[in-house]
Amino acid sequence: MVIGGGLAGLSTALRLADADIRVTILSKKILNEGSTRYAQGGLAAVLSEDDSFQSHIDDTNVAGVGLCKSDTVEFVVRNAPRSIKWLIDRGVSFSLTDENQDGEYHLTREGGHSYRRVIHAADATGAAVEETLEQIVRRHPMITLLENHVAIDLITSKKLGLGGENCCLGVYAFDQNEKKTVTLPCQHMVLATGGASKVYLYTSNPDTSTGDGIAMAWRAGCRVANMEFVQFHPTCMYHPHAKSFLISEAVRGEGGKLIHADGSRFMLKYDERGELAPRDIVARTIDFEMKKNGYDSVFLDISHQPAELIEKHFPTIQQKCLEFGLDITTDPIPVVPAAHYTCGGVVTNLDGQSDIGNLYAVGETSYTGLHGANRLASNSLVECLVFAESAANRILATIKKYENTSTISLPIWDESQVTDPDEQIVVSHNWEELRRCMWDYVGIVRTDKRLMRAAHRIQLLQEEIKDFYSNFRISNDLIELRNLVQVAELTVRSAMMRKESRGLHTTRDYPNLDETQTPQETILTP
């Protein structure tokens, strides 16, 4: 079983299904409603002769500020080109340098990269990848789709009091169509549920990014790591009706400049790389400039580039901006930072294996050590592909080991002690309070006092949510809120443990790197 319908989930499922393994994909909405669909930039890989694996490795390590795992970085970088070829072989149409040149792909450069190495499909790479794989998945005879099913909790042998290795036996899921909870057994489970940026008030992510896989794995007994490192994308469109529409990193890669309303640039005052500095630096700088000057936003201007270039490489962004009365060939785009990517997650090895037998985590749900303290642009989709292959290979190698798990009788979901909720205001109010609390106290810049305030409020919210969850029938909103408050607690606990500023974790109480010891992961154990 694969939980999640983005690139991580679909590519894992397809690799298994192509090897004649029956796979069920559980998707909380329709299949294409995950974060992959909204990824604009592309996939980073060494695809040109002037580039090198070592350069990509070095750039990843620099962005990760000393916390990337060296074996993971090398593993992903060296396997990335083959993974992209796998996508091309399945029909993904990436942009060409010239439509008349067959097979010569256009590569763009994004912040933190030393070379042009980001392959893309105009400015809608995620949509192109998602739609291509979705079509294959929907007609694959070895794949069963369960859409509009929200995973609630993993079923493990330890929870059932069985001896031997603790392994995953299945999952409870809420069928949103039938409004009932079902028990779904499996021999192997892959969590590919994406990140948790919906825990923040402002995010570039879709509504599905509620940390479900991380929270479920934690409750099942898995370690999580580096949850304090939340990447805020520097440039989301600032407009009351835009709902944090992402303005791709590639706009800056193709010459876009960050400016104030008067047209003055400011990035070079903070970093010699200017607009091409890593995301953590750009996001912090924008946040500082906005607060210092009392601005609602800054502006991203690419209007100095030829209109033909803009229209060719950024048709989606151009069309969306036109809907809000902005022509990016002549007008600057108002932008602000927004929560974008969860660098921490469920601890796995290079096979995607978690602490629990036959339970895997792939993509943004996982912590592999690739991103360290800050994710390098366009490394995320590549991570999904590389670990989908390694996890699938590991499952294929161990498929017989867990054959007996399918014979274990799993208990059905018990609703005998709960009633219909008398009112939903508790859920909606706690949802709003949690996300605002995280934005105000656990955002781009933190302090010990802010974190303590957040921890206190989250504890109170957890108690209220637990009481509501225990006494009333579940709903999609309640399941997601329960997961979000768990992720919020893990994020705050991790942030309180790190007594330094590193990468995406910036605190005024410890403004510098801790140079007295080797950088350490922040690992939490249930």
pLDDT, tens digit (0-9, with 9 covering 90-100), for 175-217: 999 999 999 999 999 999 999 999 998 898 988 999 999 999 9
Region 340-354: mean pLDDT is 97
Q: Where a domain ends, among 405, 434, 457? A: 405
CA 39 to chain centre: 10
| Residues 73 and 177 grouped into a single domain | yes
| Burial of 100: CB neighbours in 10 Å, binned 0-12, 13-18, 19+ | exposed
Over residues 135-160, the pLDDT tens digits come to 999 999 999 999 999 999 999 999 99
> For residue 22, what is the DSSP state?
-
Domain count, the chain: 3
The two three-digit tokens of residue 448, written as one number: 């010990």
Half-sphere exposure of 293 (CA within 13 A, CB side): 15
| Residues 274 and 187 grouped into a single domain | no
Q: How large a percentage of the chain has pLDDT more than 90?
A: 79
DSSP 481-508: HHHHHHHHHHHHHHHHH--S-BTTBEET
What's the CA gap between 426 and 50, in Å, rounded?
Answer: 57
| Residues 146 and 260 grouped into a single domain | no
| Residues 83 and 132 grouped into a single domain | yes
Both ends of the chain: CA-CA distance in Å?
24
| Residues 258 and 366 grouped into a single domain | no
pLDDT at 424: 72
Residues 6+ away with beta carbon under 8 Å from 4 = 25, 26, 27, 34, 190, 191, 192, 193, 194, 213, 363, 365
Q: Would you please indicate which residues are annotated as catalytic (active-site) residues?
A: 279
Q: Where a domain ends, among 294, 317, 338? A: 338
| Residues 329 and 373 grouped into a single domain | no
Residue 176 lies in a domain: yes
| Residues 33 and 151 grouped into a single domain | yes
Residue 521 lies in a domain: no
| Residues 296 and 352 grouped into a single domain | no
- The tokens 């998945």 sit on which residue? 137
Residue 523 lies in a domain: no
pLDDT at 403: 72
Is 304 in contact with 454 (CB distance < 8 Å)? no
Region 448-467: mean pLDDT is 96
pLDDT at 279: 82
Residue 217 lies in a domain: yes
What's the CA gap between 309 and 223, in Å, rounded?
Answer: 46
CB count in 10 Å sphere of residue 526: 11
User: Hey, is 268 helix, strand or coil?
Assistant: helix
Helix, strand, coil content of the chain in percent (nearest 5): 40, 20, 45
What's the CA gap between 457 and 99, in Å, rounded?
Answer: 56
What's the CA gap between 304 and 300, in Å, rounded?
Answer: 11
CATH number of the domain enclosing 115: 3.50.50.60
* 101 has a pLDDT exceeding 60: no
Region 257-263: mean pLDDT is 96
Of 4-18, 87-101, 248-262, 327-341, which range is least confident? 87-101
* 504 has a pLDDT exceeding 60: yes
Residue 416 lies in a domain: no
| Residues facing 516 on adjacent strands | none
- Tell me which of 98 and 216 has the higher pLDDT: 216
Residue 431 lies in a domain: yes
Most confident of 106-115, 169-178, 202-211: 169-178
What's the CA gap between 145 and 129, in Å, rounded?
Answer: 18
Is 29 in contact with 22 (CB distance < 8 Å)? no
- Burial track 248-274 (b if 16+ CB lie within 10 A, e otherwise): bbbbbbbebbbbbeeeeebbeeeeeeb
Confidence of residue 418 (pLDDT cuts 50, 70, 90): confident
* 515 has a pLDDT exceeding 70: yes
Give the chain's mean pLDDT.
93
CB count in 10 Å sphere of residue 471: 12
Q: Report the run of H or E that residue 8 belongs to, with start and end.
A: helix 7-17
Residue 252 lies in a domain: yes
- The tokens 């694969």 sit on which residue? 2
| Residues facing 233 on adjacent strands | 338
CATH number of the domain enclosing 268: 3.90.700.10
| Residues 369 and 429 grouped into a single domain | no
Parent domain of 373? 2-229+343-405
Length of the chain: 526
Region 35-56: mean pLDDT is 92
Taking CA 168 as the corner, what is the angle to CA 205 and CA 361, rounded to the nearest 5 degrees? Answer: 35
* 99 has a pLDDT exceeding 70: no
Residue 415 lies in a domain: no
| Residues 67 and 35 grouped into a single domain | yes
pLDDT at 365: 98
Q: How large a percentage of the chain has pLDDT more than 70?
A: 98
Is the pTM higher than 0.85? The answer reads: yes
* 231 has a pLDDT exceeding 60: yes
pLDDT at 425: 79
pLDDT at 241: 81
Taking CA 172 as the corner, what is the angle to CA 399 and CA 25, rounded to the nearest 5 degrees? Answer: 55
What's the CA gap between 523 and 227, in Å, rounded?
Answer: 9
| Residues 198 and 320 grouped into a single domain | no
The two three-digit tokens of residue 170, written as one number: 């299945």
pLDDT at 38: 82
CB count in 10 Å sphere of residue 337: 27
Task: Residue 255: name the closest of 274, 280, 271, 242 by CA.
Answer: 274
| Residues 315 and 379 grouped into a single domain | no
Region of 145 on the Ramachandran plot (φ > 0 left; ψ -120 to 50 alpha; else beta): beta
CATH number of the domain enclosing 492: 1.20.58.100
